[in-house]
């Protein structure tokens, strides 16, 4: 039997909070601070709202982790899962085995892809999808007889996951420090954030040109024969919701084509309507060779992710696998039938409810209302975003675009004030607060979210005075 958790001064003995503190190692959490602060325990949800154990209700402004696109209840997804569990609870995809939910989902993804794609590989998380994409790239270049073409370029502040390879692709210090990462052969180029990285007198398009030139110079310095791929989110999410300037991807892709470098679009956040189009690649004019997606693929009711590859990549992979006798990669749960059935149903719901058009519409409202309410606020440096994904960045000095000293923990204080105002908020690095609510959010709920957030920012302003 598990011993009872020790009593904590702040949390009653044997309370759910004390039991959490005693036994759970939380992801992305200051483990020591957690002993004092304790967890926020969520017990239920409905639409865009979740409820905690004390019965308090919150709007989930980031759909959990940018993922619960249909919100926190959906009978059709429950039915899809239970029916599939009864029919065939598990089968795998190794050595050519297959099942209908996976076949149907692969077909639906290929039909909806932003550019012609050939095949779909399934995994369980965004990290695994990006890891798999990276391994495909290495494998394919070995199969093509160019084993030196292996380096991969990602971007500072990009987020691609936490496995050893995907955390290496991620360009955030917290994912590298103390982990001995990044691994060799993964490089990071500048983040396309004009607000901070643009130079005085430089236009956004000049900035985009400069970043493309910097990428070109990096590839030339490394040797184009050694650079295999470039990984990019259409809109950076966890790094701060950074929307690249106009012409950025057009110029970046010209450089990639020149040096025969593959483009991987990480659509783990942007996919399935988040940016106002079905794919972020469409919003940003990307033509990827490989596309990874997860999260909204199943509205996060069950874990599943996918890697789509074009014919050129697939052909080389097929050739390699034939030489060796296998493509020695895959997860026990690749294409899990229950997750796949839920994903199929999710994509049908997106189509039937025209949720991408809805996201574009409520997204435009969210962008406008956040700017109207906060652009002139003394505490707000930038409101940015596209479609139904946005960030509000807090600054101490608006003119100098300078953030508060990290020790002041202003974003964490705003998150706490958000909770008091009925919002679950997510702070990103650089004192930015993310907005990525469920796609099903209504115009009235957008208004309520912005109004409550505005009140929380005003309260923070009063505290800092």
Nearer to ligand PLP, 150 or 160 (CB): 160
Shortest reach from residue 443's CB to ligand PLP, in Å: 26
Is 238 an interacting residue with respect to ligand PLP (CB under 6 A)? Answer: yes
Nearer to ligand PLP, 231 or 417 (CB): 231
Work out whether strand 151-155 and strand 186-189 pair parallel, antiparallel, or are unpaired.
parallel
Is 431 an interacting residue with respect to ligand PLP (CB under 6 A)? Answer: no
| CA neighbor of 295 nearest in space, from 331, 239, 342 | 342
Shortest reach from residue 305's CB to ligand PLP, in Å: 7
Among 74, 125, 168, 346, contact with ligand PLP (rule: CB under 6 A):
125
Shortest reach from residue 66's CB to ligand PLP, in Å: 6
Contact in structure between 432 and 391 (CB atoms under 8 Å): yes
Stretch touching ligand PLP by CB under 6 A, among 2-10, 216-224, 261-269, 457-465: 261-269
Contact in structure between 165 and 183 (CB atoms under 8 Å): yes
Shortest reach from residue 319's CB to ligand PLP, in Å: 29
Stretch touching ligand PLP by CB under 6 A, among 11-19, 136-144, 264-272, 436-444: 264-272
Q: Which residue is nearest to ligand PLP (CB)?
A: 126
Alpha-carbon span 200 to 451, nearest angstrom: 34
Alpha-carbon span 177 to 187, nearest angstrom: 16
Contact in structure between 240 and 428 (CB atoms under 8 Å): yes
Number of residues that bind ligand PLP (CB under 6 A): 15
Shortest reach from residue 296's CB to ligand PLP, in Å: 11
Nearer to ligand PLP, 238 or 380 (CB): 238
Stretch touching ligand PLP by CB under 6 A, among 15-23, 38-46, 200-208, 231-239: 231-239
Among 45, 161, 240, 280, contact with ligand PLP (rule: CB under 6 A):
161
Is 80 an interacting residue with respect to ligand PLP (CB under 6 A)? Answer: no
Shortest reach from residue 87's CB to ligand PLP, in Å: 26
Alpha-carbon span 45 to 310, nearest angstrom: 39
Nearer to ligand PLP, 269 or 347 (CB): 269
Structure tokens given for 196: 């901070």
311-317 long-range contacts, Cβ below 8 Å, gap at least 24? Answer: 311/116, 311/118, 313/118, 313/136, 313/137, 313/140, 313/262, 313/289, 314/118, 314/119, 316/140, 316/141, 316/143, 316/144, 317/136, 317/139, 317/140, 317/143
Is 123 an interacting residue with respect to ligand PLP (CB under 6 A)? Answer: no
| CA neighbor of 114 nearest in space, from 267, 252, 233 | 267
Is 233 an interacting residue with respect to ligand PLP (CB under 6 A)? Answer: yes
Shortest reach from residue 268's CB to ligand PLP, in Å: 3
64-68 long-range contacts, Cβ below 8 Å, gap at least 24? Answer: 64/300, 65/295, 65/300, 66/237, 66/269, 66/274, 66/295, 66/389, 66/434, 66/436, 67/294, 67/295, 67/296, 67/299, 67/300, 68/299, 68/300, 68/438
Is 237 an interacting residue with respect to ligand PLP (CB under 6 A)? Answer: yes
Contact in structure between 267 and 295 (CB atoms under 8 Å): no
Shortest reach from residue 167's CB to ligand PLP, in Å: 9
Q: Which class for 134: exposed (0-12), middle (13-18), buried (19 or more C-beta within 10 A)?
A: buried
Query: What is the contact mask toward ligand PLP in residues 34 to 73, using x (rule: CB under 6 A)?
Result: -------------------------------x--------
Is 127 an interacting residue with respect to ligand PLP (CB under 6 A)? Answer: yes
Query: What is the contact mask toward ligand PLP in residues 265 to 304, using x (rule: CB under 6 A)?
Result: -x-xx------------------------x----------
φ, ψ dihedrals at 395, nearest 5°? -135, 155
Stretch touching ligand PLP by CB under 6 A, among 111-119, 159-167, 221-229, 413-421: 159-167
Find the binding residues for ligand PLP in span 81-110 (CB under 6 A). none
Among 160, 251, 274, 384, contact with ligand PLP (rule: CB under 6 A):
160
Alpha-carbon span 287 to 116, nearest angstrom: 9
Nearer to ligand PLP, 264 or 379 (CB): 264
Nearer to ligand PLP, 126 or 438 (CB): 126
The residues binding ligand PLP (CB under 6 A) are 65, 125-127, 130, 159-161, 233, 237-238, 266, 268-269, 294
């Amino acid at each position: 039997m598990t011993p009872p958790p020790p009593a904590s001064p702040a949390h009653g003995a044997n309370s759910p909070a004390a039991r959490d503190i005693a036994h759970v190692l939380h992801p992305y959490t200051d483990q020591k601070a957690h002993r004092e602060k304790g967890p926020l325990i969520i017990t239920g949800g409905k639409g865009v709202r979740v409820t905690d154990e004390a019965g308090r209700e919150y709007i989930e402004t980031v759909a959990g982790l940018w993922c619960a696109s249909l919100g926190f209840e959906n009978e059709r997804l429950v039915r899809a899962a239970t029916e599939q569990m009864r029919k065939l609870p598990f089968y795998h995809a190794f050595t050519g085995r297959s099942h209908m939910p996976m076949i149907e989902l692969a077909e639906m993804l290929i039909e909806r892809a932003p550019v012609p794609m050939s095949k779909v590989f399934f995994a369980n998380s965004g990290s695994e999808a990006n890891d798999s994409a990276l391994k495909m790239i290495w494998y394919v270049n070995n199969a093509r007889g160019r084993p030196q073409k292996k380096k991969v370029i990602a971007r500072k502040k990009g987020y691609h996951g936490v496995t050893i390879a995907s955390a290496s692709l991620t360009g955030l210090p917290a994912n590298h420090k103390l982990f001995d990462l990044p691994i060799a052969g993964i490089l990071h180029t500048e983040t396309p954030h004009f607000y901070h990285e643009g130079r005085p007198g430089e236009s956004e398009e000049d900035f985009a040109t400069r970043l493309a030139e910097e990428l070109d110079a990096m590839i030339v310095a490394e040797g184009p024969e050694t650079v295999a791929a470039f990984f990019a989110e259409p809109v950076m999410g966890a790094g701060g919701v950074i929307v690249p300037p106009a012409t950025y991807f057009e110029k970046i892709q010209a450089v990639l084509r020149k040096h025969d470098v593959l483009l991987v679009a990480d659509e783990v956040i942007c996919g399935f309507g988040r940016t106002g189009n079905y794919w972020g690649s469409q919003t940003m004019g990307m033509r990827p060779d490989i596309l990874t997606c997860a999260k909204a693929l199943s509205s996060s009711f069950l874990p599943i992710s996918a890697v789509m590859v074009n014919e050129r990549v697939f052909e080389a992979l097929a050739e390699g696998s034939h030489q060796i006798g296998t493509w020695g990669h895959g997860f026990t749960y690749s294409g899990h039938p229950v997750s796949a059935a839920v994903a199929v149903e999710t994509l049908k719901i997106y189509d039937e409810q025209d949720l991408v058009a809805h996201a574009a519409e409520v997204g435009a409202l969210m962008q406008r209302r956040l700017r109207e309410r906060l652009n002139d606020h003394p505490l707000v440096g930038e409101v940015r975003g596209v479609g139904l994904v946005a960030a509000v960045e807090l600054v101490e000095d608006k003119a100098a675009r300078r953030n508060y000293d990290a020790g002041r923990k202003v974003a964490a204080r705003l998150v706490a004030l958000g909770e008091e105002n009925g919002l679950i908020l997510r702070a990103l690095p650089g004192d930015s607060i993310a907005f990525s609510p469920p796609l099903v959010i209504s115009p009235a709920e957008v208004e309520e979210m912005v109004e409550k957030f505005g009140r929380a920012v005003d309260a923070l302003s009063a505290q800092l005075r």
